[in-house]
Chains A and B, each alone.
Chain A
Amino acid sequence: MATITSTTARTLLRPTAQKGLLSWLTTVDHKRIGIMYFWTALFFLFIGGVEALIIRLQLARPNQTLVHPETFNQLFTMHGTTMIFLAVMPLIAAFINYLLPLMIGARDVAFPRLNAFSYWIFLLGGIFLNIPWFFGQAPNAAWTGYVPLTLNQYSPGLNADYWLAGLQLVGLGTLISGFNFIVTIFNMRAPGMTLLRMPVFAWTTLIMSFLVIMAFPSITIALFFIMFDRMFGTHFFNIAAGADITLWQHLFWVFGHPEVYILILPAMGIISEVVPTFSRKPLFGYSVMVFSTVAIGFLGFSVWSHHMFTIGMGAVANTAFALTTMTIAIPTGIKMFNWIGTLWGGSIRFKTPMLYALGFLSMFVIGGLSGVMHSAAPANMQQHDTYFVIAHFHYVLIGGALFGLLAGMHYWFPKVTGRLMNERLGVASFIFSLIGFNMTFFPHHFLGLMGMPRRIYTYDAAMGWNTLNMLSTVGAFVLAFGFTLVLVNLLVSIKKGKEAGPDPWDARTLEWITETPPPVYNFAVTPLVSSRDEFWARKYQGAPALAAEEPGPIILPAPSYFPLLMSIALTVAAFGLVYSNLLLTIGLAATLLCIIGWAFEGVGEVTIYPKGFEQQ
């Protein structure tokens, strides 16, 4: 083991723990942060999943009274909010955190302390959002929080206050991650790792992060507007004072639509890593893939009103948004066909990661195609706010984003733990998930067309929706079983999995060059990159294994208390927003102090002496 010495004794507060709870609370190591993101996201996935199962139980048969209507509204609101903001996005953050520096040959992200801060604020924000469950006032106005339903007059309780303040916390963390990832990609690449040699996952991270920093401001502002209306009696959404309530919808979807590409792009990046590896071929049309990612990112900002075809914008505006929306099918199609091109002529191995990748390819198409059906605006007027939409977005979110992330999870598990996940459990989990997933959500298409609106807690037996709803509920449990197998597989394999060795999949990219699991410093010597699939080139194409630096002591950023302290301070402020101005002031003042302390503490340095370079 390497010896680690801290060279920053000067600062009073600097933590030094390398093991135990304190070391996790103060860590700035991107890999540890990635792991914390991962488990936290899984936890929230579980919560959101249980909420979904209760929803499905309530809807299994007509006129059920399993939950109170009010509770039902809380359930789907928190299900949507949790899944999007607390499960899938953090899961993505987990992958990016762990892998991005390894993939581009860096020792950490550009701003390690900010990275830790992003995690802590997400964790506390997630908990914060769920607190009102304990007194029965969880947010209840849907994940889209349309006004005037979220204003005082129609939501006098704390429900909306928690939702507004909680999303601000979570959003802040995401925003900061966005900056961090972009700078990391711009600045931390190993020598020779040009932008066009980066793994596509790094590219999707880059574009996704740009979407984050350009889209999140819009929802932040919009949330503040509601907050001010609720707290200070401003008139942003007060119709009597001349306000226009559709303003919220515009601001929300200017964020909301890019948000869905934020969720899918990293999954597409993962697929672009997994498919080549298991086909033993480089990604087909790399530069086209990169370009189409950029195109999706750009187009994603011009389509937001396709969520608002029925608000009465008029034919001209609807036409514009319908057309821009449809064009997104083109770059996405290009991606689909390039993945198929990658498979074509390859030598395909059907390991679990590949199965999930194939699941992604086939299921995402279904969701994408129903998206295009939505974009045909006159037809959308029938589909909007029905289960047809529910079908669409679960196909892209589960069949797309989640399957992509599951592919990645099985693929990189050995990198993180040094062990393989169990293949048989993996295959079984895939089969159950795939079948359960289709059983749950395919019928939703028909339910929607047969007139079933979304967000209803009950329906009449005469509506003709009984059988399909029952089918869907059963499917949800099959799906949950499939996911449970994934969880079991994870837990079992961590302890008992087969030793993976450094390169279990015969992989192609930089992260597999270093040891498994990677040491704190990632690379003993920073590699010098000379090709796109550097590892493959080194293994099979005779590329020399070059290093970009002399071996020697390595300097890493030092741990810090401030990320955690500052997120606590901000959470206090968030409670202040809900309960009292005094608390708000205290929280903000504490935050300011933390910022100052943070600035004066500096990045700090820890020097590591790898074996053979012990401290003299």
Chain B
Amino acid sequence: MSTYPLPQQEPQGAQESVALQAPAHEAHHAALGVDSKKIGMWLFIASDCMFFGALIGTYLIYAGKSTVGPYPQDLFDIPLTTVSTFILLMSSLAMAMAVHGAQHGDMKKLKRWLGLTILMGLTFLGFQVYEYSHFIAAGLTLSRNLFGTTFYVLTGTHGVHVALGVLWLTLLFITALRGDTKRVNPVNVEIAGLYWHFVDIVWIVVFAVVYLMADVAA
């Protein structure tokens, strides 16, 4: 079947000597030495930056253009949102601990911190739900004015990211509880972690642009 002779010796004249590696059972070459899924996650993050870039850009372009209230200054409760922001930030720390656990095969640590991360994510979402219902009661709906439109779509998209993250971590958590160490391997946890950190960082930007700058502008 193989029409080409196998090397009798180390390749000659080849610029780099690549030894016989990549055993037949290796499905991925990982030419970069990084897991494919992890590279995929980095690329997704790059792409997602453009998503949020478009959303944040739109928010900025329309900032202050609403023709009717309520306006940001009427609604924002910066201290409250600072608390939820802080919680989300801390969840990144918890996630980092979980990853650390996974990397050292410490399932108990992994489970503990993963659980905490999930809880914190849920708390953040809870804050968001509270905030939304409060805003809606104050008259800011999706179709009220440009502020409502851009605010809900931007923060809502972020919220969906958090929710999907929570779902993902929960699936990991359950798998970990079932003791499936094949699936809950360091790489898979790291990738989930990458996503989670990214979602946090986006929130920092959103928080700065939407909440803090509104305060400055007012």
Please list the residues of chain A having a beta carbon within 8 angstroms of any beta carbon in chain B. Answer: 2, 106-107, 110-111, 175, 178-180, 182-183, 186-194, 213-218, 220-222, 224-225, 228, 232-236, 240-244, 247, 251, 254, 513, 515, 524-528, 530-531, 543-557, 596, 599, 602-603, 605, 610-613
Q: Is B22 located at the chain interface by the 8 A CB criterion? A: yes
Q: Is the beta-carbon distance between A111 and B7 smaller than 8 angstroms?
A: no
Near A by CB (< 8 A), chain B positions 88-107 give none
Q: Is the beta-carbon distance between A110 and B36 smaller than 8 angstroms?
A: yes
Which residues of chain A come closer than 8 Å to B40, judged between CB atoms? 110-111, 179-180, 183
Known: A526-B22, A554-B24. A546 touches B54 (CB 8 A): no
- Which of B1, B5, B51, B146 has a CB less than 8 Å from the CB of A242? B146
Closest to A530 in B: B14
Q: Is B20 located at the chain interface by the 8 A CB criterion? A: yes
Q: Is the beta-carbon distance between B1 and A524 smaller than 8 angstroms?
A: yes
Q: Is the beta-carbon distance between B21 and A548 smaller than 8 angstroms?
A: yes
Which residues of chain A come closer than 8 Å to B24, judged between CB atoms? 549-555
Q: List 26 A–B pairs whose Cβ atoms lie within 8 Å, in order of A's numbering.
A: A179-B43, A179-B44, A183-B43, A188-B28, A188-B29, A189-B29, A189-B31, A191-B21, A191-B29, A194-B16, A213-B43, A217-B50, A233-B143, A234-B149, A235-B148, A236-B149, A241-B146, A242-B67, A247-B61, A528-B11, A546-B14, A547-B7, A549-B21, A549-B22, A610-B1, A611-B1
Q: Is B145 located at the chain interface by the 8 A CB criterion? A: yes
Q: Is B6 located at the chain interface by the 8 A CB criterion? A: yes
Pairs A-B, 9 closest by C-beta atoms = A530-B14, A545-B4, A217-B50, A233-B143, A221-B54, A213-B47, A242-B65, A191-B18, A234-B149
Q: Is the beta-carbon distance between B142 and A233 smaller than 8 angstroms?
A: yes
Closest to B16 in A: A192
- Interface residues as binary, B1-36 with A (CB distance below 8 Å gives 1, 0 otherwise): 111111100011111101011111101111110101
- Interface residues as binary, B34-77 with A (CB distance below 8 Å gives 1, 0 otherwise): 10100110011011101101110010011001111000000000
Question: From residue A585, how far is it (CB to closest CB) to chain B in Å?
Answer: 15
Q: Is the beta-carbon distance between B18 and A187 smaller than 8 angstroms?
A: no
- Which of B62, B66, B149 has most A Cβ within 10 Å? B149
Q: Is the beta-carbon distance between A111 and B36 smaller than 8 angstroms?
A: yes
C-alpha spacing A160/B179, complex, angstroms: 50
Q: Is the beta-carbon distance between A186 and B31 smaller than 8 angstroms?
A: yes
Which residues of chain A come closer than 8 Å to B2, judged between CB atoms? 524-525, 547, 551, 610
Which residues of chain A come closer than 8 Å to B34, judged between CB atoms? 186-187
Q: Is the beta-carbon distance between A187 and B29 smaller than 8 angstroms?
A: yes
- Which of B3, B7, B58 has a CB less than 8 Å from the CB of A528? B7
Which residues of chain A come closer than 8 Å to B39, judged between CB atoms? 182-183, 186-187
Known: A191-B21, A549-B20. A221 touches B51 (CB 8 A): yes
Which residues of chain B come closer than 8 Å to A515, judged between CB atoms? 3
C-alpha spacing A562/B1, complex, angstroms: 33
Closest to B167 in A: A592
Which residues of chain B come closer than 8 Å to A599, judged between CB atoms? 171
Which residues of chain B come closer than 8 Å to A233, judged between CB atoms? 142-143
Which residues of chain B come closer than 8 Å to A524, judged between CB atoms? 1-3
Which residues of chain A come closer than 8 Å to B202, judged between CB atoms? none
Known: A187-B34, A234-B149, A557-B27. A547 touches B4 (CB 8 A): yes
Which residues of chain A come closer than 8 Å to B148, judged between CB atoms? 235
Question: From residue A217, how far is it (CB to closest CB) to chain B in Å?
Answer: 4
Closest to B30 in A: A187
Q: Is the beta-carbon distance between B1 and A220 smaller than 8 angstroms?
A: no
Which residues of chain B come closer than 8 Å to A216, judged between CB atoms? 47
- Which of A218, A526, A544 has a CB less than 8 Å from the CB of B7? A544
Q: Is the beta-carbon distance between A187 and B28 smaller than 8 angstroms?
A: yes
Which residues of chain B come closer than 8 Å to A247, judged between CB atoms? 58, 61
Known pairs A233-B142, A525-B6, A543-B13; list 15 more (Cβ under 8 Å).
A188-B31, A191-B18, A216-B47, A221-B51, A236-B149, A243-B146, A251-B58, A525-B4, A544-B5, A544-B11, A546-B11, A546-B14, A549-B20, A550-B6, A551-B6
Q: Is the beta-carbon distance between B1 and A217 smaller than 8 angstroms?
A: no
- Which of A180, A243, A527, A557 has a CB less than 8 Å from the CB of B4? A527
Q: Is B153 located at the chain interface by the 8 A CB criterion? A: yes
Question: From residue A408, how far is it (CB to closest CB) to chain B in Å?
Answer: 25
Which residues of chain B come closer than 8 Å to A188, judged between CB atoms? 28-29, 31, 36
C-alpha spacing A325/B54, complex, angstroms: 22
- Which of A179, A194, A551 has most B Cβ within 10 Å? A179
Closest to A592 in B: B167
Question: From residue B47, how far is it (CB to closest CB) to chain A in Å?
Answer: 4
Which residues of chain A come closer than 8 Å to B1, judged between CB atoms? 2, 524, 551, 610-613
Which residues of chain A come closer than 8 Å to B21, judged between CB atoms? 191, 548-549
Known: A234-B153, A525-B2. A243 touches B7 (CB 8 A): no
Question: From residue A380, how far is it (CB to closest CB) to chain B in Å?
Answer: 25
Known: A247-B58, A548-B18. A235 touches B4 (CB 8 A): no
Q: Is the beta-carbon distance between B58 and A175 smaller than 8 angstroms?
A: no
Q: Is the beta-carbon distance between B20 and A548 smaller than 8 angstroms?
A: yes
Which residues of chain A come closer than 8 Å to B146, judged between CB atoms? 235, 241-243
C-alpha spacing A483/B39, complex, angstroms: 41
C-alpha spacing A553/B27, complex, angstroms: 12
C-alpha spacing A554/B26, complex, angstroms: 9
C-alpha spacing A557/B36, complex, angstroms: 14
C-alpha spacing A551/B66, complex, angstroms: 69
- Which of B6, B40, B54, B148 has most A Cβ within 10 Å? B54
Which residues of chain A come closer than 8 Å to B31, judged between CB atoms? 186-189, 191, 193
Q: Is the beta-carbon distance between B28 and A110 smaller than 8 angstroms?
A: yes
C-alpha spacing A188/B28, complex, angstroms: 6
Which residues of chain A come closer than 8 Å to B6, judged between CB atoms? 525, 546-547, 550-551
C-alpha spacing A208/B210, complex, angstroms: 34
Q: Is the beta-carbon distance between A217 and B51 smaller than 8 angstroms?
A: yes
Which residues of chain B come closer than 8 Å to A187, judged between CB atoms? 28-32, 34, 36, 39
C-alpha spacing A187/B43, complex, angstroms: 13
Known: A187-B32, A530-B11. A241 touches B145 (CB 8 A): yes
Q: Is the beta-carbon distance between B13 and A528 smaller than 8 angstroms?
A: no
Closest to B4 in A: A545
Closest to B25 in A: A555
C-alpha spacing A544/B123, complex, angstroms: 62
Question: From residue B53, how far is it (CB to closest CB) to chain A in Å?
Answer: 8
- Which of B25, B43, B150 has a CB less than 8 Å from the CB of A182? B43
Q: Is the beta-carbon distance between A213 and B4 smaller than 8 angstroms?
A: no
Question: From residue B190, how far is it (CB to closest CB) to chain A in Å?
Answer: 16
Q: Is the beta-carbon distance between A242 and B62 smaller than 8 angstroms?
A: yes
Which residues of chain B come closer than 8 Å to A111, judged between CB atoms? 36, 40
- Which of A2, A186, A222, A235 has most B Cβ within 10 Å? A235
Question: From residue A257, how far is it (CB to closest CB) to chain B in Å?
Answer: 14
Q: Is the beta-carbon distance between B50 and A243 smaller than 8 angstroms?
A: no
Which residues of chain B come closer than 8 Å to A552, judged between CB atoms? 24
Q: Is the beta-carbon distance between B51 and A232 smaller than 8 angstroms?
A: no
Known: A182-B43, A221-B51, A234-B149. A528 touches B18 (CB 8 A): yes
Q: Is the beta-carbon distance between A232 and B4 smaller than 8 angstroms?
A: no
C-alpha spacing A111/B18, complex, angstroms: 25
